[in-house]
A and B are shown apart, each in its own frame.
Chain A
C-alpha cells in the first residue's frame, strides 16, 4: 500500500516536473511607462496562445536599465531574453553583434508595415535588430486660449521667429504663466536631445565630415543664443532642472503657453483626469528657420533579443506578438484607440477610427518629417537626429548638457557654455581616436 502511494506520488511529481521543464521562461527588461504597463496587463492573450512560454518582467528606471543591460550583454550574463532599448543603442549594439537579427518574425508579421523612419532607425546594414513597440517625434503643444488671447494664430508649421513672438506675448509672469517650457535638465537624453534639434533647425551640426566638433560655428552660436534668450524672456523659473516630467507637470497645471517635446505627451496633456487644460490644447509641427530642417526628433522604444539569450525563439515569438498589428487591435478593443501605442505601424494611421484621435495626424506628420540618416542642413558622417549614433555620444552629450544647463541657471553666458562644450567634446573625441 505504502509502495503504491509512493509510486503514485513519484509519478505525479515526475509529471509536474516534466510540465515545468517544458516551460520556457522569457525575462523581459523594461521601463515603467504607460504603454509598457498596459502591455504587461494584456499578456494573458500571449500566454494563452503560447502556454509553453512563461513571462517574467524586470521593470527598471531608464538609466538603470541602460546600465544593467549594457553590463549584462558585455559580460554575457544572460539575465534577460528581451530588452527594451532605444533608437540610439540599436545600431551601436547591432554593430557589436550584441543583438539577434529580427528578420524572421513570422510570415504574418508584415515588417513592411513598420513606419519607414522607425525601420531605418532600428536597423543596421538593412537588417532589423529591434522591433518598435512605440515611436515618437517631437512637436509643439500649445494653449489655444492663451494663443487667442495674445491675438495670434498658430500655423501648422511655425517658424522659430513666430514661436519666439508668441511665447513673449503669452508670458504673464505675475500670474505664473510662462510663454514656453523647454527642457533644461542636463543629460544626453534630456536637454541635449532638445538643443540638438534646435541646432539642426538653425543649420548647425555636431561634427563635420571629418569628425571635427562644430560647436564653435556661427550656427551653433545663433541656436544656443536663441534658446537662451527665449528661456530668459518667456521660460519658467528653475528651467535648468526641468526635464520631460517637470514640464509635463507645469503644462498640466496651466503654467505653460507652449511646450515643445515628445509627441507621446499629447495623450497626457489632453487627459482630463490629470490635466487642467485638457480641452485647450492645440498641436503644430516643430519649428524651423526656413533652412530645410525642423526641430523635431525621432525616437522609438523597441524590443530586442540579446545575443546571449538561451530562449531566442520564445523571445522572438513574444516580440512578434507585442509589436504586431493584432496587438494594436487588442489594445484598442480593451483600452480604446487613444491608448494604442503610437508611431510604429503605417496601418494604424490608415485606420479611420484611429484618425479620430486628435493628435494622431500631427504625430504621424512629425515622425514623417524626421530623417535620422540626413539630420542636418550640411552633410554629417553620423546617423541620428537628437543624438549622434556613436558609443561616445552618451558621454559627450552629457558633458555638453551640463554646460548648457549651467548657462540656463545663470552661471555662464551662452558663449562661455559653447566654448567649454567645444573643448570638452574635442578632448573626448581625440581621446576616442577620431
Chain B
C-alpha cells in the first residue's frame, strides 16, 4: 500500500517536473521552430506549431549576410577569457575568506555582492569614458575585463560556498607537511574543489555568453559577440521574426549543447549549498 502511494506520488512529481521543464523550455523551442518557418508563416494567426513547410532559407540568408564565425569566435574568447580570469582572481580570494576569515569577511562578502545591486546603466558612461581613455572600446580584452568584473562577485561567492564545505584540517595537515601557500591551494584545495570550480566555470561562462548590455554598448565592428549578431536582425520596417529566430538559434546552439553535456555538474553546482 505504502509502495503504491510512493509510486503514484513519484508519477505525479515526474509529470509536474516535466510540465514545468517544458514550460521553461517553450520559448526556446518556439524560437527554434520559428527559425524554420517563412516570414509569412512566422506571423500566421492562429500560430502554426509543427505542421508547416519547413525551410532552411532563414539560415542561408543569415549565413550569407553575417560572418557568424567572427561573432562566435568573439563570444568564445570574451566568455572564456572573462571566466578564466575571474577564476584566477577568485580562487585565492575565496580561499582566504573561507579558511582565514577575519572580523570583516562577512561585510566584505556582502559588499562585493552589493555591486550587483546597482543597475548596469548607472555606470555605463564612466566606464565608456574610461574605455575611450584607455583605447579599450570595441576590443575583446576590454570586454573580457568588464565581464570578469561584473561576474567576479558571483564567482567569489560560489567558490566561497564550496570551499566552506572542505574541512580546514586537511589544509592544516598539508601545511604541517611543509606545503607552501601556493602548493596548498594548487595541489590540495583545488583538486578537492574541482566539482565546485567546474560548475562555477560553467555557470559564469553561460552568464558571460548571454550578457547583452555591455556587449552591445562597448563593441562596434571588431569585438562584437553573438549578442550583437542577434540584435542586428531586429528591423524597424519589415518582417524579421523568422530570420531573427534563425540568428538566435545559431547563437544559443553552442551554449545549449555545452549545457546539455554538463547538466550534471551544473545541477550539482547550483544545489550544492541548498540541499545541506
Contact = CB atoms under 8 A, between A and B. Distances in A.
Tell whether A pairs with B: yes
Interface of A: 27, 29, 31-34, 37, 40, 56-62, 64, 68, 71, 75-80, 244-245, 248-249, 252-253, 255, 262, 264-265, 268, 273-276
A31 B232 CA distance: 7
Contacts of A80: 220
A77 B232 contact: no
Contacts, number: 89
8 contacts: A64-B231, A71-B125, A71-B217, A77-B137, A78-B132, A248-B239, A252-B43, A273-B40
> DSSP class of B's interface residues: helix, strand, loop or mixed?
loop
Nearest to B128: A75
A64 B221 contact: no
Given A29-B220, A244-B236, A71 B128 contact: yes
Interface string B208-232: 0000000011001110100010011
A68 B43 contact: no
A60 B128 contact: no
A60 B217 CA distance: 11
A57 B238 contact: no
- Which 9 residue pairs across A and B have the least CB separation, nearest first? A59-B232, A56-B221, A249-B43, A62-B236, A61-B234, A32-B235, A79-B220, A58-B220, A33-B237
B275 to A, nearest CB: 41
B39 interface: yes
A253 B42 CA distance: 12
Nearest to A264: B237
A245 B44 contact: no
A371 B39 CA distance: 35
A290 to B, nearest CB: 31
Interface of B: 39-40, 43-45, 65, 124-125, 128-129, 132, 137-138, 216-217, 220-222, 224, 228, 231-240
Nearest to A32: B235
Given A32-B232, A253-B44, 5 more contacts: A29-B220, A60-B216, A244-B236, A274-B239, A276-B40
Contacts of A79: 137-138, 220
Given A64-B231, A262-B237, A274-B39, A75 B129 contact: yes
A245 B238 contact: yes
B65 A37 contact: yes
B130 to A, nearest CB: 11
A253 B132 contact: no
B40 A252 contact: yes
B138 to A, nearest CB: 6
Contact of B132 (A57, A60, A77, A268): A77
Nearest to B212: A64
The winner among B132, B224, B232 for most chain A CB atoms within 10 A is B232
